Each structure stands twice: as structure tokens, then as C-alpha cells.
Chains A and B, each alone.
Chain A
């Protein structure tokens, strides 16, 4: 028993209304598949772990507490040892003349020749 097409279309129309779909019997390209897609931005943006509180923040929040930052103390101790052996970084030059004094072999040679 054949059902007339108009009757099937009516049925589809009602179905679309009930389930809030778009009624599109011709199958035209309406781009609705783009609207159906979920937004993936929030998931992608949450990939890297965000910054958490650091030791410095803790010290700043509770200055009255005595804290011990092991990494920082280790670093400072190592620096002290290096400095004592005379292998530390040179002192920062404060003036332009000071910083120009010994800068490369060529410049030194040119100054000597002149």
C-alpha cells in the first residue's frame, strides 16, 4: 500500500516541529551542520596548566612567618662559593666610558695605533 508523498512530508514536518529540527525536504545545503558543532575553544584553551602560587607569593602573603626556600638558598650558596673563588660574573658597568674600556681586541688595537 503506497503512502502519498504529501502525507509523508506532513509527517516529517510534524517530526521536525516536535524535535526542533529544520524542515528541509529538498535536502538543500543550509549550513546547519556548522551550527550543530560544539565549540571546542574552551577545551583547547585549557591544555596548558595555569600558573599556581609560587614560593614568593607565599612569602609576600605571610611576611611574618619564617620560610625557607631551599632552591633559592642553594642558588645563593653556590653563588657565594663561586664569588669566593673569583669566578663570579663581572660587576655591572655603570658609565658608558667604563663599558667601552675593554671591548674586543680590534678596538683595543685601534686605540693603541691612534
Chain B
């Protein structure tokens, strides 16, 4: 959602709407994480009154979808792709191959045996 988006582009990697969106979701989640955890604590605490727990459940369910951690997906910083990402390098498998063969990734070497 554009209301969460930074007014000025603050990404230094490959930029398309999907990476911008994912970046925004990450920032929104980081901002709202304490609140979410507090609500989750209330929901899971059986010593609290049932009514308060149900209220907390409703409140958590009604939070914006951008505040959910499940909305976040690792994307390629070189090409913005969403599948086949190597987590250690934050790159899709093809971009990883290109960069590794070009020698841009320290310590990565093509194996042959």
C-alpha cells in the first residue's frame, strides 16, 4: 500500500514495484512487531479473562496485512526475482551464477571433480 511507502526511494538494489513493495512490508512489520507480539502474548496467556483474549484475537486479525511477517518474501537484489533465491547471497540462482563466475562473490569458486 502506497501510504506506507517511503516518500523518497531508499533502495540501493534492483528496483521494481515488487522489491519496493517487499521493502515497505519489511519496514512496516519491523515497526509493528512489538504490538503484534504483545497481542500474541495476551492471546496465548490462559490466565487472562476469555473476553480480553478474544478481543486481542480480533485486534490482531484486523491489523493491516503489511504488518504480517508472512507477507515478506526474500527477493533477488540483482534482478528482483522472487523464486530460487540463495539466502546467503540474496540473489536468484542465475544472478548468483553470473556473479560467481565473474568473481564478484569472495570465496565462491566453481567446483569440478
**Given A42-B30, A44-B30, A48-B19, are A31 and B40 also a contact pair (CB < 8 Å)?**
yes
Q: Residues of A within 8 Å of B, CB-based: how many?
A: 21
Query: Within the complex, which residue of B11, B37, B43, B47 is in contact with A51, where a contact is CB–CB below 8 Å?
Result: B11
With contacts defined as CB atoms under 8 Å apart, how many contacts are there between chain A and chain B in the complex? Answer: 70
User: What residue in chain B is nearest A43 (Cβ atoms)?
Assistant: B30
B96 to chain A, nearest CB (A): 16
B33 and A47 within 8 A (CB):
no
Query: 1/0 contact trace for B43-69 toward A, CB 8 Å?
Result: 111110000000000000000000001
A34 to chain B, nearest CB (A): 4
Main secondary structure of the interface of B (DSSP, over half): helix
Q: How far is the CA of A56 from the CA of B40 in the complex (A)?
A: 47
B45 and A31 within 8 A (CB):
yes
For residue A40, CB closer than 8 A to chain B, the reply is: yes
Main secondary structure of the interface of A (DSSP, over half): loop
A50 and B11 within 8 A (CB):
yes
User: Which residues of the other chain, A, contact B9 by a CB distance below 8 angstroms?
Assistant: 51
A50 and B69 within 8 A (CB):
no
B30 and A48 within 8 A (CB):
no
